[in-house]
Amino acid sequence: MKKVERINIIMRYINNRSRFTISEIMQEFNISRSTAIRDIKEIEAMGLPLVAEVGRDGGYFVMNNSILPAVRFTDNEIKALFIAFMATRNQQLPYLTSRQSLAEKLLGLISENQQDDLVLLNQILLFEGTNPHNPDLLDLSDLPHPILEQLIQNLLLDSYLWVTVQEAEEIKSYPIYLLHLYREKSYWLIEGFHLTEEKTQIIPVDYLTDVRPYLAKKRMSKKKILEKQGQQKEAINLILDLGPKAIAQFKKYHPLTVSISYTNPYQTMAILKTFVDVNNKEAVNEMINWLLFLGEDVKVREMPEEVLEEVRGRVEMWQ
């Protein structure tokens, strides 16, 4: 561990304790006594108000009402942080305005040379989703759906929600238990258990017009919900064997609700089991597109006739 990194970690260690000794620092960070003493003196020189206790059991403690000195970032830590920011531009992320203010504050903490490096990286690096005509890290070019942050705030309090959803010209309100909130193909989606119809369904966040806590006194328990969801998952109607090429394609992209199980120790063969709702035309089309993306290294064990006919039709059309 480099000295700058070690001192930063030691400062956080010290600030979280009312008292510490040199022996504790030596043991915690696996350093010699002389190195520990030098690090403590350097931390004191940086402004952390330490008071030494004299005696056999003496040590150090931080003066009351002290403030932790500004954390120093290594060059690589700064690059890692800002490259992560760059890689998630234009991704419709929640709390985007807060991320902008965070980036501005971090920029103000670093040296001019470090800022110059970031400006150069910002000019050179382009990630998927970046607008090449306006790649500014601080640009708020792709705000998420305004209800997304409201949804997350409610989730932090309770997973039982009352949602209002607009589909076409129809508006529906009903209670759900939110299982997952995820992002797929640039869309935020809810996997929720409909508490009145007792079934799992996917709801695009873009369709939400309102979300609030579900305050019913009697609610289906989480255990009961998972039991019912498990019973529904048993209705698998799509089973595929994947070879190495299909597995490679699967790793490049797959729906978040779909997983595979390897069938040999070399992970060159796998089985895929899932459910396709043949009554949902949009879901069927998306599944067909993805199955074609997997390529020819696939053997079908079981597939709904509606899906199989469409796959055959598209393959014949291309031949």
pLDDT digit string, tens, across residues 226-284: 888 777 665 788 999 999 999 999 998 888 778 899 998 888 999 998 888 887 787 78
**CATH topology classification for 238-318:** Alpha-Beta Plaits (3.30.70)
Q: What is the pLDDT at residue 240? A: 94
Cα 150 to Cα 30: distance, rounded to the nearest angstrom? 46
Strands 298-302 vs 238-242: parallel, antiparallel or unpaired:
antiparallel
Q: Is the pLDDT of residue 46 over 80?
A: no
**How many beta carbons lie within 10 A of that of residue 132, not counting itself?**
6
Check residue 319 and give its pLDDT.
Answer: 61
pLDDT, mean over the chain? 82
Q: Which CATH architecture has domain 147-232?
A: Roll (2.30)
Span 57-96, pLDDT tens digits: 567 877 654 454 555 677 888 888 888 888 877 777 888 7
- The separation between the first and the last C-alpha atoms of the chain, rounded to the nearest angstrom, is 59
Instruction: Give the residue from 207, 289, 300 showing the smallest Cα distance to 255.
Output: 289
Residue 76: phi, psi to the nearest 5? -70, -35
Q: Could you tell me if 189 and 201 are in contact, meaning their C-beta atoms sit under 8 angstroms apart?
A: no
147-232 and 238-318: same fold? no
What is the model's pLDDT at position 81? 86
Under 8 Å between Cβ of 26 and 40: no
111 or 302, higher pLDDT: 302
Residue 10 or residue 246, greater confidence: 246
Enumerate the domain spans of the chain.
3-62, 73-144, 147-232, 238-318
3-62 in CATH: which number?
1.10.10.10
**Dist CA 223 CA 220 (whole Å):** 8
Using pLDDT thresholds of 50, 70 and 90, give the confidence band for residue 52: confident
Please say if the pLDDT value at position 192 is more than 60: yes
pLDDT at 139: 60
Q: Which residue has the higher pLDDT, 257 or 222?
A: 222
**C-alpha 302: how far from chain center:** 33
Amino acid letter, 65: N
